[in-house]
Structures are given as structure tokens and as C-alpha cells.
């Protein structure tokens, strides 16, 4: 440790210059390209999420709500009024089907007005509304009148789903709690278990890429695929135009990161990462992960075309 006792405020010496240089060389940069707001199933509003990222000192940031860009768009409106250097990148996380498994694909830096993206999102929105209607019809047949309007009111700006029907059943006193609502009426095999529509992996990848964005396989180890199946996923994803994979996700172990790093190297994928933050909790990572680019790999954070700094006019 270097101690320099002869300094007065504002002065400098070789030691402090050295310390400054050392500090700069170890400066930790935080990024986060995977977070959720109240526009899907997160608990912080898009504004609160931007504020959290700023408070944490995140340098590049994306809100990636499930099947909607509403969270990003609201965050962008807010962020144009905030003077800050953090880059806000357009983001989304699509659910899709691949080989009998539900896979999540994150899209970053897309043009959200692009007709292919708009059409894709419209289709998902319509499918979600149709599903809500079907769930409501099933519940009404069981004698629960007003389920659709009730669940919609609870959903507010977020996307209507089974949790809102469950909350409505609780609020009306039909069940004791959300768990009971699922056990009796909404869970697997029950009357209100209407299957969701998910597009194919190749479709959502195409939507992202056609809109000028980067498609990324989200949290690749969460699907619990065998090594062979994970490699097949990567091959199919690349064939559809996908170019990147999350090697950092939430609270992964070092071994898991190394495993994904090798996969990225083998298949020449760009790397990405994010906390997958939904809410504060004992098992969830906070917003912001340390930026690291292992040798020989390239991060998605190289060249955004639609990222925005605070206070910028759009």
C-alpha cells in the first residue's frame, strides 16, 4: 500500500498519480441486457428500473419484458428527461417453441416500428387476448361471472395472464389464495388451463433480425437440455439468423459461465449477459453485472445503433 502523508488538498504527487492510474485500470463497468419491469412480470415500473440501473452505476442497460416492448418504450420516454450517460438499448424477451421445449430469446437494439416486429407483436397480443377470453369463458361456466373484466382491471397496463385471474378469484373471495386458485381452477389440467400460443424459435429470431436487432439465446442452462440438445438448439438458432448467447445470467457459477463460454467459442457466437432481474429477493441478482469479455470472444455491446443516452431527444 502506498501512503503519502505530505499531501494537501488539491495537490498531487507521483504516488497519487499511480493510484489514480491503478484505479482506472481496475474500474468495474456494469452492464445489464436482461431485466423485467411491470410491463411484464417485474415489480419495478420501467422508470423505477431505469433509476435502479442509474443508482447502481450501470453503463449499458436494456429492459427486456416478455413479449412486449412497452417497458422499453416507457423507459425511453422517461429517460429522455434524465441527464445521464448510461446507454438505454431497445429490448424484449420472446418465448417460443423449439423441439418441444419453451425457449426464451432476447432481442436487443431492434427498430420497434419495423413492420415485421410490429406484426409479430400484434400476433402475440391477439393470441394473449384470445387466451384470456377462453380462460374467462371456462371460469364463467363454473359460475364465476365477470372474470374477464375483473382480471383485466387487475392486469392494468401489464399483459393479461393466469395470475390476474387467480388474483381476481382471491379478491372476490372464491378462493383463499393464489395457490388455491391454481390448484382448483387454473393449474395444469384444470378447467382454466388454456395453453398459451408460442411462435416458433425461427419466427421470433427472424422478427428480431429483420428489425435490425441482435437475437440472443437467454439463460441457456435454464432449459436443462442435454449437452447434445443444447448444441442442436444453437445450430438451429444460428440457421435462423441468431448470433449471440447469454453467458452471464443471474447468479450463475463460474463453471456454468465457462461452459457457456466454450459453447460461444465453438459456435462463434457473440456473448451477452444480464441479471434477469424481476424483483429483490434472496436468490435473485441485483441489476447490473460486471462486464467481462473473455479472450477470443466478442460482446454484443460493441456497436448499438439505436441505444440512447439520457436527455437525448428522439
Residues in contact with Zn ion by CB under 5 A are: 93, 104, 218, 276
> Taking the complex as a whole, how short is the minimal distance between the CB of residue 89 and Zn ion, in angstroms?
15
> Closer to Zn ion at the Cβ: 96 or 148?
96
Q: How far is CA 190 from CA 136, 139, 180, in A?
A: 13, 10, 12
> Closer to Zn ion at the Cβ: 117 or 218?
218
Cell matching residue 136? 374467462
> Closer to Zn ion at the Cβ: 50 or 103?
103
Q: How far apart are CA 287 and CA 249, in angstroms?
A: 11
3-class DSSP state of 114 = coil
> Taking the complex as a whole, how short is the minimal distance between the CB of residue 221 and Zn ion, in angstroms?
12
Q: How far apart are CA 278 and CA 144, in angstroms?
A: 31
Distance of CA 299 to the CA centre of its chain: 17
CB atoms within 10 A of CB 153: 12
> Taking the complex as a whole, how short is the minimal distance between the CB of residue 276 and Zn ion, in angstroms?
4
> Taking the complex as a whole, how short is the minimal distance between the CB of residue 12 and Zn ion, in angstroms?
46
> Closer to Zn ion at the Cβ: 124 or 218?
218
What's phi and psi for 60, nearest 5 deg? -135, 135
> Closer to Zn ion at the Cβ: 38 or 148?
38
Q: How far apart are CA 244 and CA 194, in angstroms?
A: 32
> Closer to Zn ion at the Cβ: 103 or 136?
103
Q: How far apart are CA 276 and CA 287, in angstroms?
A: 8
Distance of CA 104 to the CA centre of its chain: 9
> Taking the complex as a whole, how short is the minimal distance between the CB of residue 69 and Zn ion, in angstroms?
14
- What's the full length of the chain, in residues? 314
Amino acid at each position: 500500500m502506498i501512503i503519502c502523508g505530505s499531501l494537501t488538498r488539491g495537490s498531487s504527487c507521483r504516488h497519487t498519480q499511480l493510484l489514480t492510474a491503478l484505479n482506472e485500470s481496475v474500474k468495474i463497468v456494469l452492464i445489464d441486457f436482461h431485466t423485467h419491469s411491470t410491463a411484464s412480470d417485474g415489480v419495478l415500473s420501467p422508470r423505477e428500473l431505469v433509476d435502479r440501473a442509474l443508482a447502481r452505476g450501470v453503463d449499458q442497460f436494456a429492459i427486456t419484458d416478455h413479449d412486449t416492448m412497452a417497458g422499453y418504450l416507457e423507459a425511453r420516454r422517461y429517460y429522455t428527461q434524465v441527464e445521464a450517460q448510461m446507454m438505454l438499448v431497445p429490448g424484449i424477451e420472446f418465448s417460443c417453441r423449439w423441439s418441444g421445449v419453451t425457449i426464451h430469446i432476447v432481442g436487443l437494439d431492434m427498430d420497434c416500428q419495423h413492420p415485421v416486429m410490429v406484426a409479430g407483436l400484434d400476433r402475440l397480443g391477439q393470441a394473449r387476448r384470445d387466451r384470456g377470453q377462453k380462460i374467462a369463458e371456462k371460469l364463467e361456466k363454473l359460475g364465476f361471472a365477470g372474470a374477464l373484466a375483473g382480471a383485466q382491471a387487475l392486469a392494468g397496463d401489464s399483459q393479461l395472464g393466469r395470475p390476474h385471474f387467480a388474483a381476481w378469484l382471491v379478491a372476490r373471495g372464491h378462493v383463499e389464495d393464489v395457490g388455491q386458485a391454481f390448484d382448483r381452477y387454473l393449474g395444469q389440467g384444470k378447467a382454466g388451463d388454456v395453453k398459451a400460443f408460442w411462435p416458433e424459435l425461427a419466427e421470433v429470431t427472424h422478427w428480431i433480425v429483420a428489425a435490425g436487432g441482435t437475437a440472443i439465446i437467454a439463460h441457456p442452462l435454464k432449459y436443462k437440455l442435454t449437452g447434445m440438445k443444447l448444441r442442436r438448439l444453437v445450430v438451429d438458432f444460428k440457421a435462423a439468423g441468431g448470433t449471440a448467447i447469454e453467458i452471464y445470467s443471474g447468479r450463475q457459477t463460474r463453471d456454468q459461465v465457462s461452459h457457456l463460454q466454450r459453447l460461444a467459442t465453438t459456435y462463434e457466437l457473440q456473448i451477452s449477459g444480464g441479471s434477469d432481474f424481476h424483483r429483490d429477493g434472496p436468490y435473485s441478482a441485483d441489476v447490473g453485472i460486471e462486464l467481462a469479455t473473455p479472450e477470443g470472444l466478442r460482446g454484443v455491446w460493441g456497436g448499438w445503433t439505436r441505444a440512447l443516452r439520457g436527455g437525448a431527444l428522439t
